[in-house]
Structure 1
Amino acid sequence: MTAELISGTRTAQETLTWARELVEPGLRAAVAQLPPSMRPVAAHHFGWTDGGGSGKAMRPALVLLAAQAVGAPAERALPAAAAVELVHDFSLVHDDVMDGDATRRHRATVWKEFGTSTAILAGDALLALATRLLAERPDELRALLTAVLDLIEGQSADLAFERRETVGADECRAMAAGKTGALLGCACALGALAGGGSPAQVARLRAFGKEVGLAFQFADDLLGIWGEPAVTGKPVYSDLRNRKKSLPVVAALASDTGEGRELAALYRKPGTLSAPELARAAELVERAGGRAWSRAPADELLARARTQLRALEPKPRAELEALAQLITRRDH
């Protein structure tokens, strides 16, 4: 089933616009409740001060569609959608501190604009705000906080991998499942919970989100090396500069090829890699097969994700499938 076969379905881009328009008023109202020192910091991150715009609202869209998929109006899941977006942005603010990235969404990152200490506080504030939005919805709050812990564990593994010479592909995949899959799975589960879905529906939608999240991470890791800064809003070769053991890098290092060994030597080299060395590292990842290996699993993961959507409402099911396609075929 595709979106084109069902009357009235939106394209994936239309779905994202719809979700952003529904969720943003609640996000702005929530941010207005932050302590005065944190409000301008959050407004900068969300792009409300320079007109640059906030994120794509991918996670809120999953929440709202999941509520509709179990037969409820999207509006019932608006608090959960805003909470998921706040958690996502808490993780981005802290992630930029840890990676030292100076730009995101074509603007200075929070730590670069306001300082590291303020960025840490702002991330904490966004997380606290997310939990307060769901304070009167204990099942949804429990699901969200469980996903936060999984996200933190995945991020911790990501950092630990930077200090290790060898990382297995299965380890890297498990890291990605926690770092990215957990929150996307949670987004879908929260929508189903908010919409009064059955335990089986909640479980199926969570599984759908996790599979899509893992496929998303494969795509994101490719962008972290080969994405165009003008499109992604992040520095060129950002993952290589930070010597991240992302999925294509791990595949290249494990290839037992001359290119893989040369890449390992570059990763061991002390000091900051120069621009020519970063370009060479990207070439080595590709020649060692890391780029092709990372592209391959997306179709399999999407096919597995689709099997979780049986017996759900047809229109939101088609829109969930279209959104999953966009998420895993994106260029930014």
Structure 2
Amino acid sequence: GMAYKDIPVTIASAPVSINVKEVPNTKKPVTYTGAVGKFQFDVQLDKLSCSTDDALKLKLLIRGSGNLKLIEAPVFDLPKGLEKYDPIVIDSITGRTTAIEGFKQFEYALLPTAPGDYEIAPIMFSYFNPATQQYESIVSQPIHLHVVLGKQLPANKKDKLSQFHNYNRSINAQNPFYAFGHAWYWMIMLLVGLFLVIQLTKHKWQKMWSAWIDKRNNRSNRVALKRMKKAQVFLDQKQIELFYEEVSKAIWLYLSDTLTIDLASLSKEAALEKLAARQLEQKIIDNVTAVINDCEMALYAPSIAEHKMQQTYQDTIAIITHIENSKK
């Protein structure tokens, strides 16, 4: 065959000037958190009626083009009686392509602590639009939520409990020593009750989190295989760049969902470390490294990457299949 020799060559590109403007300080909304571009904003609650035993999902979806990676969650308050937890952040930007369009979603878990009718006030998202050179704000509609009492003490038991408290108060008024002991007794009972509530809430949250992880993993498998079907089309058509771009999206998004690593923190090192912790076969871990390296190489040397397309496709399918089987 033909022999070749690698010769290092140093070249330099022409300097590139970038003019970065600051966003104007005049007329800046108090709700502005750094978003620049053109966006749509939507707020959704998965249930409008529930009980105090239920957990809710509040989704804030930002879609459009701009600095999606840098956008922070809009600030909002909830009425007393609704508790929120730190959001799960999902976005469509992998950082491996030049695309700046996509979405970013902040998903909050809400827990109602008391029955009643609640209104989640309109939530405002503000951004600077370079096309109009103006700040623009989008305000969601208010959301009304009806909460009923869950599996707690029924009314008749509450009445008996109230009578029992009144009976104890009458005894305490006559016997100061008993009142002192009674206070300590109820303090201990309060601490025990508080401990039980914390444990039950923790158990409920863990079940909800586990169910969400299972749903996310199932979704990640379907999405990855769907992308690989698209990659198969590009493979058959010998479209090198589109093939590797689709494989890159498939493997990175699959690893992010399966290993529960936020896309902002996802790297080759972080993914390999978590895969090793799962005690997967070394061959699979090596395949992950090879696929990621091949996708990166295709950006700079597509002619060299062309002959690896079939192997890259097979390795990626093997990775997804093996990891899915290891979950069973």
TM-score by length of 1: 0.26
Higher percent of residues as strand: 2
Higher percent of residues as helix: 1
Q: Which has the higher contact order (CA 8 A, sep 6+)?
A: 1
Structure number with greater Rg is 2
